[in-house]
Amino acid sequence: MVLELQNITMQFGGVKAIDDLSFGVKTGEIYGLIGPNGAGKTTLFNIVTGNYTQTKGKVAFNHEELSGLKPNMIVQRGIARTFQNIRLFKSMSVLDNVLIGFHNQANYTYLESILRLPRYFLYEKKLKSDAMNILERFGIADHAQTNAASLSYGNQRKVEIARALATNPKLLLLDEPAAGMNPNETADLSQIIQNIKDEYGLTILLIEHDMKFVNNMCDKVLVLDYGEEIFEGRPCDAIVDEKVVAAYLGDFKHA
């Protein structure tokens, strides 16, 4: 198990966003997190990344407890994320966006950058070629010097994933990676995600509403509704599960 959540409860005032949830993600798996809007999927991401502190329960990453760590420390442990609404660094070039992901791998001090000592040049050169490598994988190397905000929506998504990948993660959290994409772009993206997963030996936890995408990609899904688990298993079984259908479309039988 790369990621293990035990009895997680998250309470905002009187609202229980997540209620006593437990699940685990195995190494090398693509694990899907689905459910209607407001089911608590993004809240769960925020708990894993340390943005929220859960009311109850434990999160373990590679058998180490994550609770109490600051979000930037959790990234350094090897959990990277993308955001539901794309959050690129808009004033910067695509290359700089990816270079920011490499921040902690650039091993030179503040003084070394001010005085331009050899280590500065050494690492900047290495990281620039690493960053270009990642951009090539995503097929956006031509846009390296372009301002990130002026890219198409699909390409901005790619930059966001490329940037997360630059932090050298073991576990990648993707929050609706295919949202707002046309079928061609979605197919392209799932191919890229498969490729990088194999190449970097990643485990992926993703939130997605596009069921075709989930069906193609995920080894396993967890369906949430009102912060509670209603189904865990293979995606093809999820679509025919009574409770899942009821959660999405309403309960016709008992109406």
Partner 1 sequence: MKAIKIAFLVVAVVFVWFAQNHFDPYAVSILNNIAIFAILALSYNLINGVAGQFSLEPNGFVAIGAYVTALFLIPAATKIDMFALDAPSAGVLAMHTSFLPALIMSGVVASILAFILSIPVFRVRGDYLAIVTLGFGFIIRIFAMNQPTYTNGALGLNDIPEKANLYWTGFITIVTFVIMLNIIYSKYGRAMKAVRDDEDAAIAMGINTFWIKTYAFMTSAFFEGVGGGLMASMLTTIAPDQFTFLLTFQLLIIIVLGGLGSMSGTILGAVLVMGGTEWLRFLDQNMDIFGYNTGAHPGLRMVVFSILLIVLMLFARRGLFGNKELVDVFRRSK
Tell me 110's DSSP state.
Answer: H
Residue 208's Cβ-count burial label (10 Å; 0-12, 13-18, 19+) is buried
Residue positions counted in the chain: 255
145 vs 184, beta carbon nearer partner 1: 145
Does 200 help bind partner 1 (rule: CB under 8 A)?
A: no
Q: Give Cβ neighbours of residue 165 (< 8 Å, ≥ 6 apart).
A: 80, 101, 134, 172, 196, 200
CB nearer to partner 1: pick between 49 and 203:
49
The yes or no reply on residue 214 touching partner 1 (CB under 8 A) is no
Is 144 a binding residue for partner 1 by CB under 8 A? The answer is no
Closest by CA to 41, choosing from 247, 226, 236, 237, is 226
Neighbour-count burial for 156-188, b at 16+ CB within 10 Å, e otherwise: bbbbbbbbbbbbebbbbbbbbbbbebeeebbeb
Please answer whether residues 147 and 132 qualify as being in contact, where contact means their C-beta atoms are separated by less than 8 angstroms. Answer: no
- Beta bridge partners, 147, equal 93
Residue 14 Cβ, how far from partner 1 at the closest point, in Å? 26
The half-sphere exposure of 2 on its side-chain side, counting CA atoms within 13 A, is: 21
Nearest to 227 by CA among 74, 61, 56, 87: 56
Least Å from the CB of residue 102 to partner 1: 8
87 forms part of the interface with partner 1 (CB under 8 A): yes
Using rule CB under 8 A, residue 104 touches partner 1: yes
Q: 103 by DSSP, 3-state: which? A: helix
Rounded Cα distance, 40 and 46, in Å? 10
Q: Is 108 in the site for partner 1 (CB under 8 A)?
A: yes
Among 83, 200, 226, 248, binds partner 1 (CB under 8 A): 83
Does residue 110 bind partner 1 (CB under 8 A)? yes
> Which residues inside 43-82 make contact with partner 1, applying CB under 8 A?
49, 51, 70-72, 75-76, 80-81
Given 114, 240, 249, 255, the residue binding partner 1 (CB under 8 A): 114
Measure the CA–CA gap between 47 and 67, rounded to whole angstroms.
9
By the rule CB under 8 A, 42 interacts with partner 1: no
Stretch that binds partner 1, among 83-91, 195-203, 216-224, 225-233 (CB under 8 A): 83-91
**Least distance (Å) between residue 228 CB and partner 1:** 27
Shortest distance, position 51 Cβ to partner 1, whole Å: 8
Among residues 24, 28, 56, 103, which is the contact residue for partner 1, using CB under 8 A? Answer: 103
- Min. distance of Cβ 4 from partner 1 in angstroms? 22
Give the residues lining the site for partner 1 (CB under 8 A).
49, 51, 70-72, 75-76, 80-81, 83, 87-92, 96, 99-104, 106, 108, 110, 113-116, 120, 123-124, 163-164, 166-167
